[in-house]
Amino acid sequence: MSDVRPLRIGMVSPYSFHVPGGVQFHIRDVAEHLLGMGHHVSVLAPSDDDTELPSYIESAGRAVPLPYNGSVARISFGPVASSRVKRWLAENDFDVLHVHEPSSPSLSMLAMWAATGPIVATFHTSNPRSRAMSAAYPLLRPGFEKLSARIAVSEDARRTVVDHLGGDAVVIPNGVFVDRFAAASPRAQWQGTTERPTLAFLGRLDEPRKGLQVLTAALPEVLRAHPGVRLLVLGRGDAEEALAVLRDEPAAREAIELLGPLDDDAKASLLRSVDAYVGPHTGGESFGIVLVEAMSAGAPVIASDLGAFRRVLDDGELGLLTRTGDAPALAEAVRAVLDDPAAARARAQRAAVGVRRYDWSRVAAQILDVYDTVTLGADKVGEDPRLGLLARWRPKVS
């Protein structure tokens, strides 16, 4: 790409940045990396009025919560949103439009319907038995037929595309700024000792698929072998349900420190500080970005043997895998890591090398190769004159 003119890239986030998650972080990071390379990037995203946004993100208005894939997504959809999508497309002279998760009812779907020209879609979700996606395919097909290229962030996400939407997708993983995590400064209050080792968990506390309830159920057994262990929990949400299993385990409850949400620098410092990171997720994961972040920071990783996690951890070469949803097995794995810190460090050192394949310098280069392919000899992004369903939503002008 160094010999090619800078591209004008339009990206669409389906989800609000008010409470960002993995998709939003992916969009933010790739946008900032491409901006740093000299490309022009504009991101359109739902956003509440009080959300502070970087200058390259344009708000498409308020979002509403919608249950989606075991979580709650904050999206914008409808006549006002479609009008803003069309205005954004008209005001920018994009070489390529990059929509994320266009199968969800969101700005991405609206943009896919509204645009013509080079359109790239990235699929993040792993949902192998989605009846809703299968049922919606006839409605989605005209938009998907306009796509110039499809990207999936993992083999699991690619399989979801193949099974429910037809066609195929190239697998390009999520990216991480590896050096930011590797260079983070540990913080004394989060560092463990031989007597008081520290574990970390990151994720929404009240989202069952993140598995905090499995980890809390495993904690009493861990404490029997390591009475001083501390579990540092980073994330939003109400932890009451996840901690309910500890009503009769006061020592385990006292071992848990709820840190709430932390900024990116603090998250990196936490992962640099702890003796191990635990990912007890129970399903719905297409990649495992938090494992990549922990590996980048040098933390030994213990994780459920989900397909996506198994691939990120090279079948256990870069982290310890344990049976999904099995609290006793998780306790045994945590004890194994704490009992043999030398082996855990050796595994973490291998992970620190292996994780380089997820650095944005490599991942963004693969995305740019896709842009190169779809823009070669193509017209710029424009408004589709066949607006289909959008035509019914054109707001009345008084």
Q: How confident is the model at residue 71 (pLDDT cuts 50, 70, 90)?
A: low
CA 5 remoteness from chain centre: 30
Specify the range with the lowest mean pLDDT, choosing from 69-83, 260-274, 310-324: 69-83
Residue-level pLDDT at 166 = 76
Helix, strand or coil for residue 354?
Answer: helix
Q: Which residue has the higher pLDDT, 159 or 392?
A: 159
pLDDT more than 70, % of the chain: 89
Residue-level pLDDT at 133 = 57
Q: Any residues with CB less than 8 A from the CB of 163 and at least 6 apart, and which?
A: 128
pLDDT more than 90, % of the chain: 65
Please compute the mean of the pLDDT values over residues 341-349 and round it to a whole number: 95
User: Mean pLDDT: which of 43-52, 55-64, 91-100, 389-398 is highest?
Assistant: 91-100
Residue-level pLDDT at 396 = 41
- C-alpha to C-alpha distance for 224 and 237, rounded to whole angstroms: 28
Residue-level pLDDT at 398 = 37
- C-alpha to C-alpha distance for 323 and 283, rounded to whole angstroms: 12
Residue-level pLDDT at 236 = 87
Q: Which residue has the higher pLDDT, 16 or 131?
A: 16
List the chain domain ranges: 8-175+359-387, 178-357
Q: Measure CA of the first residue to CA of the last residue in the chain; give whole Å.
A: 48
Mind listing the pLDDT tens digit for each residue in 192-234?
A: 999 999 999 999 888 889 999 999 999 999 999 999 999 999 9
Side chain identity, residue 211: G
Residue-level pLDDT at 28 = 95
Mind listing the pLDDT tens digit for each residue in 311-343?
A: 999 999 999 999 999 999 999 999 999 999 999
Is 155's pLDDT higher than 80?
yes
Which residue has tokens 């099974």? 163
Please compute the mean of the pLDDT values over residues 123-134 and round it to a whole number: 68
Q: How confident is the model at residue 51 (pLDDT cuts 50, 70, 90)?
A: confident
Side-chain half-sphere CA neighbours of 261 within 13 A? 9
Q: How confident is the model at residue 132 (pLDDT cuts 50, 70, 90)?
A: low
Is 118's pLDDT higher than 70?
yes
Q: Which residue has the higher pLDDT, 157 or 242?
A: 157
Which residue has tokens 């999520």? 174
Please compute the mean of the pLDDT values over residues 259-268 and round it to a whole number: 93
Please compute the mean of the pLDDT values over residues 29-53 and round it to a whole number: 91
CATH code of the region 178-357? 3.40.50.2000
Please compute the mean of the pLDDT values over residues 231-239 and round it to a whole number: 90
The pTM of the full predicted model, rounded to 2 decimals, is 0.86
Residue-level pLDDT at 93 = 92
Question: Is 388 within 8 Å of 86 (Cβ atoms)?
Answer: no
Query: Any idea of the CA torsion for 177, 182, 188, 191, to the nearest 10 degrees?
Result: 100
Question: Is 256 within 8 Å of 233 (Cβ atoms)?
Answer: yes
Is 164's pLDDT higher than 80?
no
- C-alpha to C-alpha distance for 328 and 70, rounded to whole angstroms: 24
Residue-level pLDDT at 220 = 96
Q: Any residues with CB less than 8 A from the CB of 209 and at least 6 apart, and which?
A: 70, 71, 281, 282, 283, 284, 285
* Burial tier of 221 (Cβ tally within 10 Å: 0-12, 13-18, 19+): middle
Residue 331: C-alpha distances to residues 230, 231, 293, 303 (Å): 14, 13, 22, 11
- Lookup: tokens for 184: 């983070």
Tell me the pLDDT of the chain averaged across its residues: 88
Q: How confident is the model at residue 138 (pLDDT cuts 50, 70, 90)?
A: low
CATH number, domain 8-175+359-387, options 3.40.50.300, 3.20.20.150, 3.50.50.60, 3.40.50.2000: 3.40.50.2000
Specify the range with the lowest mean pLDDT, choosing from 18-27, 265-274, 337-346: 18-27
- C-alpha to C-alpha distance for 307 and 293, rounded to whole angstroms: 18
Residue-level pLDDT at 391 = 44
Q: How confident is the model at residue 96 (pLDDT cuts 50, 70, 90)?
A: very high
Residue-level pLDDT at 244 = 83
